[in-house]
Structure 1
């Protein structure tokens, strides 16, 4: 990112409002030196390097008492002004007018520029930005991902693709992730712009701090220079949103069984390798205890590290656990309509697919920490379901060893057959 030189008047407009004291930093060298001397930003602080950079580039200043106050919240007006100064951010093709009536004079220009650059869309507000309120992380995700759509139209497509995805944050699994922020949170996670906290929540309603903003400025610059397709996590989230599974990203060897493997008399027109065609559709069951659908199917390769690791790994798998003989973990989200009464074992007899087991849910600490719906929460005495329409996640294994039945074979009531195996 280019370094930004600011005048004294512009700096006043950018950093007033209680965020800057007198005795501000004069130039980039002094800025870097002064940041190292902030009483509350030791070299071991998690954001020390980002704070150094943000101060050096003129996005922040320290306070007169020698502190930076890294944990202090940033207001919407302050953040908008900072985003408006991102020199590498292009202007949006469609320009909206700044019709906010509650923006203080010092921030009006900065807010207008942030709108011009596509970070803020006034049409999504009702004439008021609530400019002097602390910016919450959910709204931050929305602003940043909107900005990315201006940089590269493919990010706009990504925001659309994740509408029906599984978002690996606790709020998603507990039903507390607002639909208005879900897509932005997914893209922010998938690109590495933002992450979950130690409590596994994204924290959409938590305020954004000065230290976090310093980090986000640097991250945004990096993401904006990267194609959406280069982020495996985002690819997974998009695939799950569009098809219901991340299989093609994590286990691309799994393909539809070709027509040549069937007898000539077989009606191959019913066979598909597209999971989207069976997602949320009623499956043929081996017993008649309940109707069953698969809402989502998540596959995790437990043998890779770093960026090659599934974005869903932290939500489903504990570090120490690895299955035998090279199998991948397989997690299916089931939705059932129990006809009369059904116990746990009877539920397991509905479909017999090694990769999708309705009898058990994953028992990892991760699943507990993320509050992923578990079969045990739905069972009463003698393992009988106490909910007529349970929705929960089951655990299976995706095998590659022919001796362990690697095929995934599901049939819909309309005759459609989903049949894939590793090639």
Structure 2
């Protein structure tokens, strides 16, 4: 019951979430079914909520339920991540050992939901940015995602390197440009969250599979017609969280009211 409540506003890793065909009222039930392994969906990324369940599928679900019914929701890693995303907008603390820093002189941690869905001015007065979600993906160097959310972003066609000691981070955001100049050098104030620069887009087979809108990987976004003055544009972009990976240098590159840190 608590897991259903926690996932009512989560990101559901099925194709129908962005492509249509999944009612918002069904988000928590699909999330719990996926998160516990009771159901897994189809190879094309769809969940098939409008399909008729076959006798064979029912038999499999019942067999899986035997293993699910005696466990607590906290026992399921994928469900824990979807619960955190539903409550805060990110799966950071369930998908990684990282934690948010505490406010100076207090025991209270900062959190992603403090900035979630709140518009902020971009640097150089280039426009407004609103952060919606931050999804962290743990994948091995062969580009095999280890967590359920990973399949939405990373596959064999993913065009960024995978590092053993760094996580791939995907940020969903909306940008409203103030003018028609290139946004390639614009940035979200680093004191609050995230650099917004050329090269943060990504490519993968999962983009079309799950219906994702992704930041183009070009120097001048205007050449693609992706951004237009005063027109909101919602999209996903990529970055790393970790201690290696060329562009990152040393330490954490993700800044969020004091960067996340990994306890010793």
| 1:339 aligned residue | 178
Match of 1:404 among 232, 247, 250: 250
Return the TM-score normalized by structure 1. 0.53
Structure 1 SS opposite 2:80: helix
Separation (CA, whole Å) in 2 of partners of 1:335 and 1:213: 40
Match of 1:238 among 65, 83, 99: 83
| 2:139 aligned residue | 302
Return the TM-score normalized by structure 2. 0.82
Higher relative contact order (CA 8 A, sep 6+): 2
Question: Is the aligned partner of 1:292 residue 2:141?
Answer: no
Separation (CA, whole Å) in 2 of partners of 1:254 and 1:400: 15
> What is the aligned residue count?
249
| CA radius of gyration, larger in | 1
Cα distance change, pair 207–358 in 1 and its aligned pair in 2 (3 A):
farther
Q: Note the C-alpha offset of 1:365.
A: 1.2
Separation (CA, whole Å) in 1 of partners of 2:149 and 2:127: 29
Match of 1:327 among 166, 176, 179: 166
Cα distance change, pair 376–175 in 1 and its aligned pair in 2 (3 A):
farther
Aligned runs of 1:20-419 on 2, under 5 Å?
156-256=1-101, 259=104, 272-303=109-140, 309-319=146-156, 322-324=161-163, 326-346=165-185, 348-351=186-189, 357=196, 359=198, 360-376=200-216, 381=223, 385-386=227-228, 388-401=231-244, 403-410=249-256, 417-419=257-259
**Residue pair 2:141, 2:164 contacting (<8 A) in 1 also:** no
More helix by share: 1
Separation (CA, whole Å) in 2 of partners of 1:393 and 1:285: 17
Structure 2 SS opposite 1:160: helix
What do the CA deviations read for 1:105-152 (whole angstroms, capped 9, x no partner)? xxxxxxxxxxxxxxxxxxxxxxxxxxxxxxxxxxxxxxxxxxxxxxxx
Separation (CA, whole Å) in 2 of partners of 1:355 and 1:400: 17
Question: What 5-or-longer segments of structure 2 have no aligned partner?
Answer: none
**Residue pair 1:317, 1:367 contacting (<8 A) in 2 also:** no
Cα distance change, pair 331–168 in 1 and its aligned pair in 2 (3 A):
same
Question: What 5-or-longer segments of structure 1 have no aligned partner?
Answer: 1-155, 260-267, 411-416
Separation (CA, whole Å) in 2 of partners of 1:325 and 1:183: 32
Instruction: Say which is worse superposed, 281-290 or 245-254, in terms of deviation.
Output: 281-290
Separation (CA, whole Å) in 1 of partners of 2:176 and 2:48: 33
